[in-house]
Amino acid sequence: MESLDGDEKELESSEECGSAEERRLEPPPSSHYCLYSFRGSRLTQNRGDSDDGRSGGTNAETPSGDDFSLSLVDTNLPSEVEPELRSFIAKRLSKGAFFEGLGNVASVELRIPGYRVGCYYCLFQQEKLLPEIAAMESEQNPSEYVVCFLGGSEKGLELEHTFRLELDKYIQGLKNNMNCEDRSLGNDVKSYLNSWFEDVVCPIQRVVLLLQEKLTFLLHAALSYTPVEFKESDEKTKRDINRFLSVASLQGLIHEGTMTSLCMAMTEEQHKSVIIDCSGPQPQFHNAGSNRFCEDWMQAFLHGAEGGNPFLFRQVLENFKLKAIQDTNNLKRFIRQAEMNHYALFKCYMFLKNCGSGDILLKIVKVEHEEMPEAKSVVAVLEEFMREALV
């Protein structure tokens, strides 16, 4: 089964980032947070505000002071603009636009910085109350909180959607870190809130800036599901690189059984992992592979680094995966045609030769077609062609 229908859409790695001039015109990324406690009923009416935070009509419900309370717990937003965000969140709450543990992303215009910013907001429940809030809450109701993370510009809003699931996981970590026994919000929780941008958005950027041209080895390892091990690496670097590998892999985009079989096949074939040695001033790679496809996309990442926008790197990485899936689907289609048409077999060979990642694509389709005799024979012929081409 083809997991993503992208055959008709062409991507050019050199165009992912836009021009350097366009990137410089975008305001620099900023990051803020707000944590609110919430008490009251959330209505189900959905009219009023549109998804981008703009008012959409005159039917918006106004929260009642008798059954609605949204209180600031902690923030690093300037005090003069926090009420604007609170008003936006209150309107969303009044319409039932929240689901516990599932965040949303919207565009919010604040007086500072003076342009629309991306805002992730999420409602979560805490069984125990922070002491300073407990007196305000009803003993019959669980404590509810709303957390807001603001970062990037309006142009970066679409990119922030790619981080939504990771931010949902980050909220779960926040729940686990909430210390309900202190008299005030603990410093560990404040630090956790303040670090959301560094912990969720910036790891991919840090890996690109750390590895530079050696990023091609990491892209190849991710694409081929080759295990990666570390030597004398600090925990932050290891965590960042593992995060990059997780996001860059095709897991979830092609059949899970294929990925498991591919991982086993790569391990058996190579009998060794890629080693990243961090003992020196710059990481060194051992047992690493590369190909033209990964080298081209490495250049796209370095091109994006010129703009300095951390949201951009995630978009380039998503496009890298999309192009890999498109190439895989194209090869599978050619193989189906080659079962009945010798000219299509030649098209398969030329595609593998020119796509830049034929070494990996052939392994993927070989695993997928292992139980299909006709396709398996086509793959065997292609393998022979590719071996002869390398001689």
> pLDDT-derived band of residue 107, with 50, 70 and 90 as boundaries?
confident
Q: In the predicted model, is pLDDT for residue 21 greater than 50?
A: no
Average pLDDT, the chain: 77
The CA distance from 227 to 242, in Å, is: 11
User: Tell me: the pLDDT tens digits for 334-391?
Assistant: 998 988 888 888 889 999 999 999 988 988 888 877 767 778 888 888 888 888 776 4
Q: What is the pLDDT of residue 97?
A: 73
User: Tell me: the pLDDT tens digits for 42-59?
Assistant: 543 433 344 444 433 333
Which is nearest to 106 in space by CA: 60, 37, 152, 168? 152
- The neighbouring-strand residues paired with 163 are none
Is the whole model's pTM more than 0.85, yes or no?
no
Q: Which tokens in the block code for residue 131?
A: 């002491």
148 Cα distance to chain centroid: 18
The CA distance from 32 to 193, in Å, is: 9
Q: CA distances (Å), 207 to each of 195, 302, 307, 373, in order?
A: 17, 11, 16, 42
Q: CA distances (Å), 263 to each of 7, 226, 249, 266, 383, in order?
A: 25, 7, 11, 5, 19
> pLDDT-derived band of residue 317, with 50, 70 and 90 as boundaries?
very high
Q: Percent of the chain having pLDDT more than 90?
A: 34
Task: Mark out the alpha helices in the chain (DSSP H runs).
Answer: 20-25, 82-94, 131-134, 157-161, 164-177, 187-194, 196, 203-211, 215-224, 235-248, 256-270, 292-305, 310-338, 342-355, 358-368, 373-390
Q: In the predicted model, is pLDDT for residue 180 greater than 60?
A: no
- The arithmetic mean of pLDDT across residues 96-111, rounded, is 84
Q: Which residues contact 249 (CB under 8 A, 6 or more apart)?
A: 222, 223, 225, 259
Q: In the predicted model, is pLDDT for residue 197 greater than 80?
A: yes
Q: In the predicted model, is pLDDT for residue 233 greater than 60?
A: yes
User: What three-state secondary structure class fits 194?
Assistant: helix
Q: In the predicted model, is pLDDT for residue 296 greater than 90?
A: yes
Q: What is the pLDDT of residue 289?
A: 92
Q: In the predicted model, is pLDDT for residue 90 greater than 60?
A: yes
CB atoms near residue 299 (< 10 Å): 15
